[in-house]
């Protein structure tokens, strides 16, 4: 069973690949959240996987909340693993997640990071990758995924999560500040290019956008995934003044 969280499709792409290779089922964290469904039955031999993007050098805050609510029956000690996707580096993501699972009584057996095209654009100096970097990252993907699948199928133990420089400072000092002040939908608004098509309302994984008389309104339940920003066909969504002249990421190749 693989629980996945995705904003712009990178993690969904990988989760879906792993589900096919391991022949295990795929469950969206957002679906669980919307349905308030927190109890799941694992087959006795089934692995328990979590695939998610790194947000500010840690797992997304909403995912952490969901982990606390989750109840798994059928196997008290499953083989647990994480695969996190990142643009650059993960800080202490692995340790933060491992601790959360430990508190549930689950041991994290293995963990991997996968470098994917970057999606964060809401601070100065942060933008999507240039085409060459995007291509390089996607070119390295098949080999990385093959090696991860190999480990999972053999149920091996071990970690290969890239922390980057100053991981503790990023995850334990900057991350709480990010979650406190920057996971907010208040700065979102539309520019003149918005034609009120309502795609943002339909695709927001939290159901957090409502289009009223042709104008999107954000309702205060945002995870900061930026799906609305990146998928807008008119590049009409802005986050304060930070996203002016920033690019949009169209998602991994097959989505
Ligand atoms: C709010 C937010 C915070 C992010 N923080 C980080 C980070 O700390 N380190 C990193 O390498 N990438 C970071 N990224 C980039 C994403 O982790 C990366 O692009 C990921 O593959 C996106 O996955 P998704 O398409 O499944 O949403 C961030 C992206 C967003 C939207």
Does residue 56 line the site of ligand 1, with CB under 6 A?
yes
**Looking at residues 175-181, what average pLDDT do you find?**
96
The CB-side HSE value for 37 (13 A sphere, CA atoms) comes to 11
**Which pLDDT score is estimated for 227?**
98
Residue 172 bridge partners (DSSP): none
Average pLDDT for 22-31: 97
Q: Could you tell me which of 170, 168, 1 has the C-alpha nearest to residue 78?
A: 1
List pLDDT tens digits, range 36-91.
999 999 999 999 999 999 999 999 999 999 999 999 999 989 999 999 999 999 99
Task: Please state, for a pLDDT cut of 70, what percent of the chain lies above it.
Answer: 100
Question: What was the pLDDT predicted at 134?
Answer: 97
CA distances from 163 to 2, 57, 94, 172 (A): 23, 8, 9, 13
Mean pLDDT along residues 99-128: 97
Which domains are delineated in the chain?
A: 2-180 (3.40.50), 187-239 (3.30.70.20)
Atom of ligand 1 nearest to the CA of 13: 26
Q: Band the pLDDT of 187: cuts 50, 70, 90.
A: very high
Q: Across residues 221-227, what is the average pLDDT?
A: 97
| pTM for the model | 0.98
Instruction: Give pLDDT, residue 222.
Output: 97
Tell me if 61 CB under 6 Å of ligand 1. no
Ligand 1: atom nearest CA of 11 is 26
Residue with CA at minimum distance from ligand 1 atom 27: 7
Answer whether 16 contacts ligand 1 (Cβ < 6 A). no
| Confidence check: pLDDT of 209 > 90 | yes
Res 76: pLDDT: 87
| Whether pLDDT at 255 is above 60 | no
């Amino acid at each position: 069973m693989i629980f996945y969280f995705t904003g712009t499709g990178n993690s969904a792409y990988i989760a879906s690949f792993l589900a096919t290779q391991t022949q295990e089922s795929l469950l969206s964290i957002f679906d669980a959240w919307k349905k308030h469904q927190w109890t799941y039955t694992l087959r006795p031999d089934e692995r328990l996987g979590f695939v998610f993007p790194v947000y500010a050098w840690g797992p997304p805050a909403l995912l952490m909340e969901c982990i606390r609510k989750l109840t798994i029956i059928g196997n008290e000690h499953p083989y647990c693993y994480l695969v996190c996707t990142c643009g650059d580096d993960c800080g202490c993501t692995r340790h933060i997640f491992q601790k959360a699972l430990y508190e549930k009584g689950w041991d994290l057996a293995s963990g991997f990071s996968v470098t994917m095209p970057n999606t964060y654009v809401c601070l100065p100096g942060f933008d999507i990758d240039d085409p060459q970097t995007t291509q390089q990252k996607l070119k390295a993907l098949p080999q990385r995924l093959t090696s991860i699948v190999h480990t999972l199928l053999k149920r091996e133990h071990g970690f290969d999560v890239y922390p980057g420089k100053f991981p503790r400072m990023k995850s334990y000092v900057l991350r709480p500040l990010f979650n406190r002040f920057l996971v907010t939908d208040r700065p979102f608004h539309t520019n003149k290019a918005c034609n009120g098509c309502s795609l943002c309302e339909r695709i927001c994984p939290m159901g957090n956008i409502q289009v009223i008389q042709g104008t999107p309104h954000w309702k205060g339940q945002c995870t900061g995934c930026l799906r609305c920003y990146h998928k807008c066909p008119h590049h009409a969504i802005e986050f304060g003044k930070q996203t002016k002249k920033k690019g949009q990421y169209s998602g991994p190749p097959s989505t």
